[in-house]
Amino acid sequence: MLEVGQKAPDFTLLDKNGNPVSLTDFQGKKVVLYFYSKDNTSGCTKQACAFSLAYLQFKSMNAEVIGISKDSVASHEKFATKHNLPFVLLSDPEFQVLQAYDVWKEKKSSGKVTMGTVRTTYIINEEGIIEKVMPKVKPDTNAEEVLAYLNESKT
């Protein structure tokens, strides 16, 4: 897991429209970078929709929301359209960013060990430094917790 105070690893991935997006594109803004497992699964849909509902609040705090999973660009486009998601979704099919942010890990489920994305959120400050790490977040409360943190850190 990356730590608070570290420079966030830069990356360039394709968004839901196939356009390249880099972390450095958001210099001067806070970035809420959240990693999730799979488009259109129940937990990931709840998490994305919660970020969507709060999106204007994030924008008003000069924060950009970016979701990353290993899903394809086409999958992200369908997911974003189906749920009217206004924020950036990035495709990492080769696991480069998932590994750079140390969220691609062994997971145990029903006695089986598989590799998968551990739901994690990083808050990156305006200078590209990791300000907060939220490991193993819950999809239902992640957006609220991030908003609460951002509101608290303003004061």
Sign of CA dihedral 34, 36, 40, 41: negative
The question of whether 49 is a catalytic residue gets the answer no
CA distance linking residue 91 with residue 98, whole number of Å: 10
| Catalytic position from the list 33, 44, 50, 89 | 44
CA distance linking residue 104 with residue 106, whole number of Å: 7
CA distance linking residue 56 with residue 31, whole number of Å: 14
Beta strands 12-15 and 104-109, pairing class = unpaired
CA distance linking residue 34 with residue 132, whole number of Å: 12
Pair of tokens at residue 75? 């999958």
CA distance linking residue 76 with residue 65, whole number of Å: 15
CB 126 within 8 A of CB 30: yes
Active centre residues (catalytic): 44
